[in-house]
Structure 1
Amino acid sequence: MPHILIVEDESIIRTALRRLLERNQYEVSEAGSIPEAQERYTLSSFDLIISDLRLPGPPGTELIGLAEGKPVLIMTSYASLRSAVDSMKMGAVDYIAKPFDHDEMLQAVARILRMRAAAAETRPPTESPSADASDQDDIGIIGRCAPMLDLFGKIRKVAPTDSTVLIQGESGTGKELVARALHNLSRRAKAPLISVNCAAIPETLIESELFGHEKGAFTGASAARAGLVEAADGGTLFLDEIGELPLEAQARLLRVLQEGEIRRVGSVQSQKVNVRLIAATHRDLKTLSKTGQFREDLYYRLNVIALRLPALRERGSDVNEIAHAFLARQCSTMGVSTLRFSHDAEQAIRHYSWPGNVRELENAVERAVILSEGPEIPADLLGIDIELEGLDDDGFDDVPGAQAADDAALEPTEDLSLEDYFQHFVLEHQDHMTETELARKLGISRKCLWERRQRLGIPRRKASTV
């Protein structure tokens, strides 16, 4: 049974989290601060440490070094998002924002323990636990959320094979990065990866571009020319936006998959090719095949292994990590001094829906770096349409002694869940605290407070009348 240590000074959260984990078959110990944890336990003996970022005395990030390589999951508020990102850079395995749902916490814990178990199975006997590489290093894609970690696992399984792969996802999600990872982790890594955007080639030229042509095959064909499929011989062919491929070219591509051979336009002879095909699309090929817009037999040939790339809005805190990577790259490219996002910009990046996905985020960061006049990038330079008022929760300004009073008032007398804690706290304090004060005390934005009120059916207090 995995043994987990909780380091949290707020007793209501500590108790609720301990009971949640114990109900799910974990052995749990707890402490209210790092000195207390050091005094009572051997930190390296735990399978996982879950710690609040803000603690009496040293912050939770101190446990990263004290735990001697054991994973540390940091709990934080939205107000401390930048500190949470910094904690990841210091070596925290992940962070989770408070207040969180039961399923969110349980999924994070299960994922971390599963990754640790898998790493232990594959680690050479002489390798130190602290030498573990980041889970994303060999993939070359930034991502720590559950859907991306699941995708990384599938990429590692599929890459060494020659199976055809269909990558599905919205435009701008980075499907070509997945194709490149599949190629780089395959036995064809030293051979070429040929990428083709099917939507960017005119329909009249697509067959010639893909399969080549003989001299005189059509007007302007003054010499024989090999196609992109031949260029990928021995390697990988990546066809992006394959849903835009004309039906005639689809028939030729089907022959490549079935027979492993091509015939140039204007030729009567076929030639063998050894190509692994990876295709990508943002369209629903199954629906297109039913309406006759895409060959059904080709669809089933392509759909041997299907990988779904989640939209950026589905990736949680990944968006901020990706934004920081783009920021560092742009600063280096443009030769400017190191810039940083303001708190408002961090919040805007995290809460915006990013309909254009990673591509839109990259363009927004590039724009902000070009227009920035100081070391800190304000949210308005990102050029995104988002209301900042409900997202602004800069830090905590707690009254001295208030925390102890709150703890005493909220000491659990029953098995409170984290949702129960939220509801209990709001109902207990909304008569003498404003919405802004409630949000700050809970470590969330006013927008998040309003959304949780709606979901849990907690009415706002009515103004008293004389």
Structure 2
Amino acid sequence: MSRILIVEDEAVIRGALRRLLERHDHQIGEADSVAAAQALDPQRFDLVISDLRLPGEEGTAMIARAAPVPVLIMTSYASMRSAVEALKLGAVDYIAKPFDHEELLATVSRVLEQHAASMPPSMAEHETSAPSEMIGECAAMQVVYERIRKSAPKDVTVLIHGESGTGKELVARSLHRQSKRARAPLICVNCAAIPETLIESELFGHEKGAFTGASAARTGLVEAADGGTLFLDEIGELPLDAQARLLRVLQEGEIRKIGSVETRHVNVRLIAATHRDLHSLSRNGEFRLDLYYRLNVMQIDLPPLREREDDILLIADKLLENACRRHDREGLKLSRAARREIRDSLWPGNVRELENALERGVILAEGHLIHADDLGIAVPPRRRDTGALNFDTADRPPNAAENSLAEDEEDLSLEDYFQHFVLEHQEQMSETELAQKLGISRKCLWERRQRLGIPRKKSARSRAS
């Protein structure tokens, strides 16, 4: 049983957090200020969870008061700046309020494991089983686990390759957790989610007045990861100018803020991920070949879910358990037809798509069983003996196959409309405007671009260069 100290001045939040953690077998201490926490001797605990904004001293004061006990910072502002500052001061991680229960529990579990691993071991053993964050026992995943085990402590640059939704960030977190940098920050950045015009400022920082709107100096995410690990997801979307700056970080260990003439030394381990063929992109001039060689010291290839047939139901059961807990529907089970459809589907969106289908099933299910129709799987299942696509009409009404075909045609027409709209308007609209017109988020817009092979338009700055 782990001992956790909660430092939060709002009694309602403090009580809710205590009840959540106690349900998962943690022993809880409570305080409403840094001074009250100090009186409880924070070194007696295994973890401190502290709000950033507290009466009197800020929550970041707990970092020094509780050391070497890790401190997890909560912030209602959810701003990258406050989170980065907390990480620079030594916080082990941060979580934004209102927090998702599963995300909080996963973060707490990971931090406690990291802290336990950093303590003097009772026996010297290598980890041979799957990392705690990952699920799967198939041969392809055993290769992944072995690569993680061997690469993590060596402090080398790692390139993770895999389709969207295969769990690239989980691999990065596992590499960091098992590395010598486990107690330092892990900074995760999705390169495709940041506008081209802001990516260099976000990564490398800027000085006050460096460009219009730069009203104050800002620390970049590379510098925030100093001493720890920087995870760059979808690195294939990084503009060429930012690639050149990143190459200097890898070669010289130096960064220079935008608008500054001074360089700063940083000690950062880089883990990159992509679903694209970076070597092919380098031949087309879209990715620097020298950066590719620097990144590809160790490569970990994640298999898509359709190639992990033995793991699919194992993963589904775990995701279903998590979804049931989130929606207070414990005890729900998958029907035999639903399990068969999950096992036989192609899952182009991989684990993320499976998780969404199960979430939908938990919400729509009536009674104690989730049926195949509740999952809303749009992709036709595969025939396991030939690999050909087919519609398994067992356990379905007589016209279910015809209805499914009609739904596929409707989906295709919607995708055609999306593709036509984006190609027609992307020269006049920003990514934000396109997303608003389509009624989707920027992240969803980017994911659909990837699925349909529609490249993001180049900014005027990129075309000029």
What TM-score, normalized to structure 2?
A: 0.55
* Uncovered stretches (5+) of structure 1, i.e. residues with no partner: 1-123, 394-466
Structure 1 residues 133, 222: closer, same or farther in 2, change over 3 A?
closer
Q: Which amino acid aligns with 1:271?
A: R
- Deviation of the 1:373 alpha carbon: 1.0
Deviations 1:203-235 (A, max 9, x none): 000000000000000001011110000110000
- Cα distance in 1 for partners of 2:195, 2:184 equals 28
CA contact (8 A) 1:348 1:379 kept: yes
Does residue 154 of structure 2 align to residue 161 of structure 1? yes
- Deviation of the 1:391 alpha carbon: 7.9
CA contact (8 A) 2:191 2:238 kept: yes
State the SS of the aligned residue for 2:196: coil
- Cα distance in 2 for partners of 1:145, 1:391 equals 29
Larger radius of gyration between Structure 1 and Structure 2:
1
- Deviation of the 1:345 alpha carbon: 0.5
Does residue 166 of structure 2 align to residue 135 of structure 1? no
State the SS of the aligned residue for 1:384: coil
Q: 1:250 is matched with which residue: 216, 220, 243?
A: 243
Q: 1:183 is matched with which residue: 166, 176, 186?
A: 176
Q: After superposition, where does 1:386-465 map in structure 2 within 5 Å?
A: 386=380, 390=392
Does residue 293 of structure 2 align to residue 267 of structure 1? no
Q: 1:380 is matched with which residue: 370, 373, 397?
A: 373
CA contact (8 A) 1:241 1:279 kept: yes
- Cα distance in 1 for partners of 2:222, 2:123 equals 43
CA contact (8 A) 2:128 2:146 kept: no
Q: Which amino acid aligns with 2:213?
A: G
CA contact (8 A) 1:166 1:278 kept: yes
Q: After superposition, where does 1:346-361 map in structure 2 within 5 Å?
A: 346-361=339-354
- Deviation of the 1:158 alpha carbon: 0.2
Q: After superposition, where does 1:103-122 map in structure 2 within 5 Å?
A: none
- Deviation of the 1:265 alpha carbon: 0.3
State the SS of the aligned residue for 1:238: strand
Q: Which residue of 2 aligns with 1:89?
A: none
- Cα distance in 2 for partners of 1:126, 1:133 equals 10
- Cα distance in 2 for partners of 1:185, 1:209 equals 27
Determine which structure has greater relative contact order: mean sequence separation of CA pairs < 8 Å that are 6+ residues apart, divided by chain length.
1
Moved over 4 A (4+): 124-127, 387-393
What TM-score, normalized to structure 1?
A: 0.55
Q: After superposition, where does 1:32-431 map in structure 2 within 5 Å?
A: 135-136=129-130, 138-385=131-378, 386=380, 390=392
Structure 1 residues 389, 204: closer, same or farther in 2, change over 3 A?
closer
- Deviation of the 1:370 alpha carbon: 0.6
Identity of aligned residues (%): 65
Q: Which amino acid aligns with 2:169?
A: E
Length, aligned pairs only: 266
- Cα distance in 1 for partners of 2:165, 2:197 equals 26
- Deviation of the 1:147 alpha carbon: 0.3
State the SS of the aligned residue for 1:159: helix
Structure 1 residues 391, 349: closer, same or farther in 2, change over 3 A?
farther
Structure 1 residues 126, 188: closer, same or farther in 2, change over 3 A?
closer
- Deviation of the 1:337 alpha carbon: 2.9
Q: Which amino acid aligns with 2:313?
A: N
CA contact (8 A) 2:127 2:149 kept: no
Q: Which amino acid aligns with 2:144?
A: L
- Deviation of the 1:135 alpha carbon: 1.9
- Cα distance in 2 for partners of 1:378, 1:272 equals 57
